[in-house]
Structure 1
């Protein structure tokens, strides 16, 4: 009995200890649970409230208004126009094909448009709005609104469409906007590019300044249900609109220039301020309508534009290289002066030049007789330049040419600029793996052979001659923001003063007396009776121009053809005719504006390019956009 009692007591003690231990464990667990609940519900309350809120709220990106592009006087060149479009949310319709079919019965959809919608639906989530049809008229909007009950998932949305009021007149400067492709979306971290229908700059200023023009995305916080359907909008932030961009372009002068060259099959011209580098007009023909790219150009239209032999998509002022012909003779002249050749050095021109086995011809078959340096510029005597080129050498000519902006990008704020070619001995060896031959120097001296320059480079060269040897660089950007800077702005004051050094452009290493000889020679070309462009001169007192003609061959004239008579340009197929070139500045005695004109396969520079330059320079000086607002006299100009 005693043993049994002792055993019972031991069992009771063990049980009591176990109960105590279990109770202690329960107390610890309850305490830990209470602590955890306190931590979650009190300490971490904000965090989990936010997570719960995020499960309830969907944040949608909002595209900001794209910045305007304006001319130098505030006239809109690229603007935003109200655009009403029909959108489709795939999750809200049970039958996509039927919905699209019903919509197409109200507003016709081409096969291409329908395929585009289906492609976007596959790329995006089911609750993402996809544009079906853009640029709806009021009548079309009314039709859709009246039939919305039969069009599940379809709604009307207000948007903005890029609008180019001057169409082809500014197409090569502005470029256009287009929906980004998959590679562009992957390469750009900006979430705006993922939005259906969002467009980025594809060419011109639209591309070069795309980041600044596009702005930053807004946010729309929307309450959604468990499957992502929008219930209501909780908040809205419109984001940051794109910056307005003011350009240096004078749209009035641009219109005049573009219309003046439109009669030519392929032509380009540039006008710039010789002190500030501001490009006032940049015209290229033929051109295209940038609006056709907004909704996506058709394959047929794209093929037609690319197959056009006159290349309407190309901004010829910066992307096409031409042999400069006799417009290059100022560079050869300067190289000769720097090599110590006197302006009085004379050469007899019998109409040809013998160099070893080579017989090189002057453009004037009967020759010019005895000519000195100024005579050679005035009459554009090829024989004179054959001779001084041989004496100076191609390397010296190339060095001077590059100093004046040839053979390298000018730095213009546009995509697609070509550097051109200014050859020397090292260039030929490195590019072609061949040595330079002396006869090639003679050809280079008259702007032929390997030399290629863009119209913009020729304009820069002319500006640097006219402004006294300052390395002015061209630009189209003037400022961000439509409001004008204060008159006290030192940049404005410097521009009005007409001093390139005041704007920070460096002085080039060039003798001022040498530049004066070049300017005098260009003056003789246009304003003396025997000059090659005298008949194309500006006769308005105070507006006279100084210039240089150029005609560059694009084919080789054989000895057999010379013996039987060289065929006239007009008798040749268009692509075998000479290019017509002309460069000039005005006014002669107080230079302010420089111009270059290239009429592709146009013929003689004095006959075809010089009259265009003359007319544009007259209009430019009449408007005088660098010093005043020509639109102010007749009131503010409105968009067409």
Structure 2
């Protein structure tokens, strides 16, 4: 290999120097750029990256707010929040989870179902998250756990808030109940509040709790906690408490409500009491009822089965959800329609032989032998069906439907309750559009006595009665105030009904209860200052064949319970100065005789503001009423037994 010439060595050295300079310059430029970048990140953007670091280290957690409470019109608590004691376990702190649970079981009675749920939750949750092992434990049990926590690693006794309904079933159908948020609940909400994702957070499911959930829920608070790299809480930095939900005061009178519930007893029935002037609902009772506290933490399969398998349907809010043929309680509407149309005068009579032939079909009166000559007041007083068949054929269904609408039949009232029914106020157009059939004259005859297609809820019947009493379009109202602010109470407009026509119908209703031949005379109120006007009603739930009529109609008492007639009674009192309207429906109650005494007794309780004196009742009933009062007074919470004039 030959030696490099001096010229070649010089060229090689020159090239190497040039490359070294280029490489060095590149490295210098890179280092300079890196330095500027580091300066930019550490100085110019220091605040931004410090914030990001803080966000990785600090979490914001929601604090559930206290739910708003619910009160009656007199300030009695109907739904409140109670301390709820529970025991939680952090699996990673417990070590041997099974051993810790075994020790805990010696101090607290553990529900097997709750324990299975907790074990399932532990398997799918990070080991540092607490899991509830025992819920709604007693204070004594919680104290035992607290004393023994050194021997129970991972176990923590905690105090939270849970909903409680002190009157249990008395307002179950009005208040509804709360329960843990389910996936189904979340699916119904477009943009769910993050509160709803907190484990075991409770929301309103049905009734007022469900319909006014947004008002009652409140606004969540927040707390800042420091966490480590795996998300475990290290310490709490600060917190901001949330806002409690709105307190709601209802128009309900708790003692009247409890009395109505007790008076309905074991019947499958409903009763509504309404203030004639304001529309305030003083009682909205459905029987049988249920304990809403069972649903708060999740009802057992056995308890739920008992409720759903009961043929009296305790879960149904019959007072607002149930719709029934109103029977003869609808006859005031037929009478007013005829009077307003000018087809009948006050003294015009119709002869009742016990039936009427209409389109080759015999329409019967409830009184087989007939009532003879009847005018309007007499026909209402004795509930003559033939009289109202005759009026209806003259006036027609469309006029009847128009009048019925003024009195609330077929109207879905805007109340914060679940499943408020619209009922059915039929007309020619309705039958044509819904059923695709023409209206026939027999439909009109049936509607005239509250049968056929006509359907109304007890709430609607109470509204109808209040409007008959006052001549005003009184709307029902359930919420009196929110957070102490009274809700608007507008003056109801007068109905487009002649006052003289209305007065004649009112005379007929008064005769029902106060004339010896009235259908409610035996269940009248004796006290002159509290005399009531009313109307009895019976609605059939089965067809009576011609063959059965020929051999004699089977008595209701001899039929299976679910084939017996419904019993209805509506009334208002006092007659001279109406204060309250009452509607009672007893399902399969064998006719109006089941509903009328209930309506009378509830009316007296409302008028006297408690147990009425025996002097308000017919003499022959007083011994029985006294015993009944003593039994019912035991069932009404907070009721002081009074012994007014027992003579």
Residue deviations 1:237-289 (CA, integer Å, cap 9, x gap)? 22121111111111121122112221x42121001122322111111111111
Where 2:528 maps in the other structure, the secondary structure is coil
* 1:509 aligns to 2:496 (yes or no): yes
Aligned to 2:633: none
Residue deviations 1:272-316 (CA, integer Å, cap 9, x gap)? 122322111111111111111122111111111001011111111
CA change 1:458–1:448 in 2 (3 A) is: same
Q: Following the alignment from structure 1 to structure 2, what is the Cα–Cα distance between the partners of residues 320 and 236?
A: 48
Aligned to 1:524: 511
Residues 426, 454 of structure 2: 8 Å contact kept? yes
* 1:619 aligns to 2:610 (yes or no): no
Q: Following the alignment from structure 1 to structure 2, what is the Cα–Cα distance between the partners of residues 198 and 18?
A: 71
Q: 1:580 aligns with which of 567, 570, 574?
A: 567
Q: Following the alignment from structure 1 to structure 2, what is the Cα–Cα distance between the partners of residues 76 and 561?
A: 54
Aligned to 2:230: 227
Aligned to 1:627: none
| 1:155 Cα deviation after fit | 0.9
Q: 1:301 aligns with which of 300, 303, 306?
A: 303
Q: 1:608 aligns with which of 590, 594, 605?
A: 594
Residues 245, 477 of structure 1: 8 Å contact kept? yes
Q: Following the alignment from structure 1 to structure 2, what is the Cα–Cα distance between the partners of residues 43 and 337?
A: 89
Q: TM-score, normalised by structure 1?
A: 0.89
CA change 1:184–1:101 in 2 (3 A) is: farther
CA change 1:277–1:231 in 2 (3 A) is: same
Aligned to 1:632: none
Aligned to 2:620: none
Q: Give runs of ≥4 in structure 1 deviating > 6 Å.
A: 637-640
Aligned to 1:437: 440
Where 1:87 maps in the other structure, the secondary structure is strand
Residues 131, 197 of structure 1: 8 Å contact kept? no
Residue deviations 1:532-575 (CA, integer Å, cap 9, x gap)? 21222222232221111111111122222222222222222211
How many residue pairs end up in the alignment?
609
Q: Following the alignment from structure 1 to structure 2, what is the Cα–Cα distance between the partners of residues 511 and 37?
A: 91
Residue deviations 1:481-508 (CA, integer Å, cap 9, x gap)? 1x465xxx9x5xxx6xxxxxxx153444
Q: 2:377 aligns with which of 363, 374, 396?
A: 374
Q: Following the alignment from structure 2 to structure 1, what is the Cα–Cα distance between the partners of residues 60 and 518?
A: 71
Aligned to 2:38: 37
Q: 1:422 aligns with which of 420, 425, 437?
A: 425
Equivalent runs, 1:166-177 vs 2, <5 Å? 166-177=167-178
Residues 206, 213 of structure 1: 8 Å contact kept? yes
| 1:172 Cα deviation after fit | 0.9
| 1:17 Cα deviation after fit | 9.3
Residues 472, 492 of structure 2: 8 Å contact kept? no
Aligned to 2:245: 242
CA change 1:96–1:434 in 2 (3 A) is: farther
Where 2:274 maps in the other structure, the secondary structure is strand
Q: Following the alignment from structure 1 to structure 2, what is the Cα–Cα distance between the partners of residues 618 and 378?
A: 21
Where 1:529 maps in the other structure, the secondary structure is coil
Residues 219, 239 of structure 1: 8 Å contact kept? yes
Aligned to 2:405: 402
Where 1:170 maps in the other structure, the secondary structure is helix
Residue deviations 1:205-253 (CA, integer Å, cap 9, x gap)? 1111112111122222222222222222111222121111111111121
CA change 1:480–1:553 in 2 (3 A) is: same
Aligned to 2:355: 352
Residues 255, 638 of structure 2: 8 Å contact kept? no
Stretch deviating more after TM superposition (315-324 or 561-570) = 561-570
| Structure 2: 5+ residue stretches without partners | 611-636, 641-647
Where 1:184 maps in the other structure, the secondary structure is helix
Stretch deviating more after TM superposition (552-561 or 184-193) = 184-193
Stretch deviating more after TM superposition (56-65 or 326-335) = 56-65
Stretch deviating more after TM superposition (451-460 or 211-220) = 211-220
